[in-house]
Structure 1
Amino acid sequence: MRHMLELLLRRAGFEVRSAADGELALELVEREAVDVVLSDVRMPGLGGLELAERLSSAHPEITLVMMSAFGTVDLALEAMQRGAYDYISKPFKQDEVVLTLRKAEERLRLRRENANLRARVAELEAGAVAVDGIELVGRLLIHSPAMRKIAKTVRKVSRFETTVLVLGESGVGKELVSRALHDLGDRADGPFIAVNCGAIPEGLLESELFGHAKGAFTDASSDKPGLFEAAAKGTVFLDEVGELPANVQVKLLRALQEREIRRVGENTPRPIDVRVVAATSRALEQMVEQGEFRQDLFYRLAVMQLRIPPLRERREDISMLAEHFLTTVNRRLGTAVEGVDAEARRIMLAYDWPGNVRELENTLEHAAVLAEGPLIGPDELPERLRRGRRQAADGPAEIGFALHFSDDDLSVKRAQRRTERELILRALEQTDGNRTHAAKLLDLSHRALLYKIKDYDIG
């Protein structure tokens, strides 16, 4: 068997080394660089399951594929729990072995790509200006041509005191762009104070921004400076500026024109020394036309406009941002996810990300928590992403079987289990019991299929 596999794999283009038992295999991987180990479960001396544990502990970078004539689901699950990547049952077809090793090869390539990208991001976070096509501008990771254009403008505008209006959908990173304008400018040593204009009740907003005098209203027990005074020699970031009520719009216009404010309850103006950066996800020009936003204030805010493109218009940023967020999640939650596998990456690149970068960050945290191995697969992604993949496949298809329901049992959960079980049985029947191929038909990972076969007691 060992010699037959050597010939088969060499013909398929693999560089092959062989060992007669587990102990010799361990000696070989200590001497030579090995990417994938294909091992039988039953061997003289050190068995395959023990080899899996030893390799997983001493050489986690090696991908292990197990095979056995004593193929049971429990044995396959145990092998993967001990560190194996995949499991092949004997007798197997030659193309099944090659296909499994090609998958392992792709997984290895992805892990190396992910590690390389993660290292580049880490270099940037450690202070490098640019690394292999990725640069750090303030706290912004820049990669795509669209974001490079934004970065170029940010660097130039940051040197001037001009007011900037940052436009873009929710979640695109408007606050990060605003922080970059602050961090790269002459006010970098001063405070950066962000306020969400839509999150503060209308009755309190004027007092929050401009302060109040003692006795100005019922709860004003003492003088209080507003955020414009607190941001002296720094930057005030007005997020969702389109939510400002009309009376506060007038006060803000005066502050921008005269460089002074009046606290609520005071008549004497106070000079201010701040830069103002505003942002909105709303169409301010349309609001001006409809009389919902002051035209003179719009022109004061929009001296320089920066439109941040949504993530769907710069998909080349997705992989780079994903690695950055996974590094952050691993550090914060103690997870050990190394990256995203090829299929999950394809799903992520095809998805439109209506919540933009914020949605991507939350998605990766969700997936990292659920991940059972070093790479995030399709099954760990939220249902909305996987649903998009199914809808984009080949269009609607008829299901080739009928389910019969009793009027006494209309449970959706039980119907779903019956449907899943029937689909798995059909897939196994079509593939002559080949679980690897069945998993592809079912749009499941091999691991997920094994668990479902056990759960549904499918022989």
Structure 2
Amino acid sequence: MASPQQLTLAASTPASDIAVRGIVARSQQMRDLLRDVVLYSNCDANALILGDTGTGKESIARALHQGHATRWRGPFVSVNCGAIPDGLFESEFFGYTKGAFTGAVTDHAGYLEQAHGGTLFLDELGELPLHQQVKLLRVLEQRTVTRLGSRTPVQVDFRLVAATNRDLRRMAAQGGFRTDLYYRVAVLVFRLPSLDERGPEDKRAIFETILRRLAERNGYRLGNVPEWLLDAVERCHFQGNVRELINLAERVAITCQATGGWNADLLTAMLHHPPGADTAPARSWSAREEAERDRILAHLENHGWRRQVTATALGISRKVLWEKMRKYCLFEAPSLDAGNGGRLGS
């Protein structure tokens, strides 16, 4: 685990890249953002991260956590506000005592207690209903929580970092978000640019970095990435931002490992014609479904795509998990077999 001092050194090094918690940044816009992250990481002020889906908001939140002089040793509790059913908000956030309700067979600490001594990251804060915003605001003001079934308040100490792809200021002006909560959260504001705003240099750097990480992880030699491929990536538009670019890099790595080299025809077709573009209908999910998909994907990745363990962690059956995986097209990418010392390129 990197120390705050290492984080500061990485961000202040006068090199072509700035690396903060693995975030690749060559564009001046991202370099400036990361310098602000380093500057404000070692404080307890609440922070709000703004950015489109797939821009890497959680990575910035983790960098803020990692850069704190003491909280970096504490927990980083990540919560997707849009994935929590309305009826479970209090039990999930505040926790409960044994016997508080049917099924409460043990004491359970909620997210607010779990984050004690560390950082609470609330993703998709704009999806939190107004009546739940009031409860969160009260905790931020009083710094105490009371579990369901208990009358004893518990002191909590955490740094709040929130993220959203919505305009909370406008929502507050229109009555869709509490103004007092907005100003409580938005002490420090970080805006993440889209990948297109970051420019071709970041597209190239991220793409090449992901390819090399995959090669290192799976034990094969990468070789030099062809210049024509990097140029093509620079010209691509990535509506899904960094997340989509990472997916592309993984597909390219799998294809190159399978074919034994940089197959220009296959890779060019992949860049300009994503898999399933003409055969699969466009999917339109609600914000809550998007949040549920992200939550399931995070659990699958955390548990090595083991469905039974993931289902247990989510509190659902293995059958229900499989149905949701099919619904949201969540399938583990094929592993990159190193084979007989396979080599990509020359």
- What amino acid does structure 2 have at the position aligned with 1:215? G
- What amino acid does structure 2 have at the position aligned with 1:146? Q
The structure showing larger relative contact order (alpha-carbon pairs under 8 Å, at least 6 residues apart) is 2
Task: Determine if contact 1:335/1:369 at 8 Å carries over to the other structure.
Answer: no
Q: Secondary structure at the match of 1:340?
A: coil
Match of 1:353 among 235, 238, 245: 238
Change in Cα spacing, 1:141 to 1:220, as seen in structure 2 (3 Å) is same
CA distance in 2, matches of 1:378, 1:155: 43
- Corresponding residue of 1:52: none
Offset, 1:352: 1.9
- Corresponding residue of 1:295: 179
Task: Determine if contact 2:211/2:249 at 8 Å carries over to the other structure.
Answer: yes
CA distance in 1, matches of 2:182, 2:167: 11
CA distance in 2, matches of 1:382, 1:206: 49
CA distance in 1, matches of 2:84, 2:158: 21
Aligned residues: 263
- Corresponding residue of 1:267: 151
CA distance in 1, matches of 2:63, 2:240: 21
- Deviation string 1:18-57 (CA, Å, 9 cap, x unpaired) is xxxxxxxxxxxxxxxxxxxxxxxxxxxxxxxxxxxxxxxx
Task: Determine if contact 1:378/1:386 at 8 Å carries over to the other structure.
Answer: no
Change in Cα spacing, 1:370 to 1:132, as seen in structure 2 (3 Å) is same
- Deviation string 1:239-294 (CA, Å, 9 cap, x unpaired) is 11111122321111011111112222333321101111000112212222332221
Residue 228 in 1 paired to residue 115 in 2?
no
Match of 2:61 among 166, 174, 178: 178
Residue 379 in 1 paired to residue 266 in 2?
yes
Counterparts of residues 133-172 of structure 1 (less than 5 Å)? 133-172=16-55
Range with bigger deviation, 357-366 or 217-226: 217-226
- What amino acid does structure 1 have at the position aligned with 2:266? D
Task: Determine if contact 1:212/1:220 at 8 Å carries over to the other structure.
Answer: yes
Residue 215 in 1 paired to residue 102 in 2?
no
Offset, 1:174: 0.6
Change in Cα spacing, 1:313 to 1:199, as seen in structure 2 (3 Å) is same
Unaligned runs of 5+ in 2: 1-5, 275-346
Q: Secondary structure at the match of 1:188?
A: helix
Change in Cα spacing, 1:381 to 1:171, as seen in structure 2 (3 Å) is farther
- What amino acid does structure 1 have at the position aligned with 2:121? F
- Deviation string 1:197-220 (CA, Å, 9 cap, x unpaired) is 112222223212221122322221
Match of 2:223 among 338, 341, 355: 338
Counterparts of residues 433-452 of structure 1 (less than 5 Å)? none
Change in Cα spacing, 1:210 to 1:338, as seen in structure 2 (3 Å) is farther
Offset, 1:364: 0.6
Q: Secondary structure at the match of 2:206?
A: helix
Offset, 1:359: 0.7
Offset, 1:160: 1.4
- Corresponding residue of 1:322: 207
- What amino acid does structure 1 have at the position aligned with 2:127? E
Task: Determine if contact 1:340/1:376 at 8 Å carries over to the other structure.
Answer: no
CA distance in 2, matches of 1:376, 1:287: 49
State the identity %: 42
CA distance in 1, matches of 2:72, 2:269: 39
Task: Determine if contact 1:323/1:339 at 8 Å carries over to the other structure.
Answer: no
Q: Secondary structure at the match of 1:166?
A: strand
**Superposition RMSD in Å:** 2.4
Unaligned runs of 5+ in 1: 1-123, 389-459
Task: Determine if contact 1:213/1:223 at 8 Å carries over to the other structure.
Answer: yes
Counterparts of residues 417-436 of structure 1 (less than 5 Å)? none
- Corresponding residue of 1:445: none
Q: Secondary structure at the match of 2:109?
A: coil
- Corresponding residue of 2:15: 132
- Deviation string 1:345-370 (CA, Å, 9 cap, x unpaired) is 22211122111111111101101111
Offset, 1:340: 3.5
How high is the TM-score relative to the length of structure 2? 0.70
Q: Secondary structure at the match of 1:337?
A: coil
Change in Cα spacing, 1:361 to 1:338, as seen in structure 2 (3 Å) is farther
CA distance in 2, matches of 1:334, 1:189: 31
How high is the TM-score relative to the length of structure 1? 0.54
Offset, 1:223: 1.8
CA distance in 1, matches of 2:98, 2:269: 51
Offset, 1:311: 0.6
Highest CA radius of gyration, 1 or 2?
A: 1
Counterparts of residues 278-289 of structure 1 (less than 5 Å)? 278-289=162-173
Q: Secondary structure at the match of 1:277?
A: strand
Residue 313 in 1 paired to residue 197 in 2?
yes
- Deviation string 1:408-427 (CA, Å, 9 cap, x unpaired) is xxxxxxxxxxxxxxxxxxxx
- Deviation string 1:153-212 (CA, Å, 9 cap, x unpaired) is 111211211000000011111111011111111211111111111122222232122211
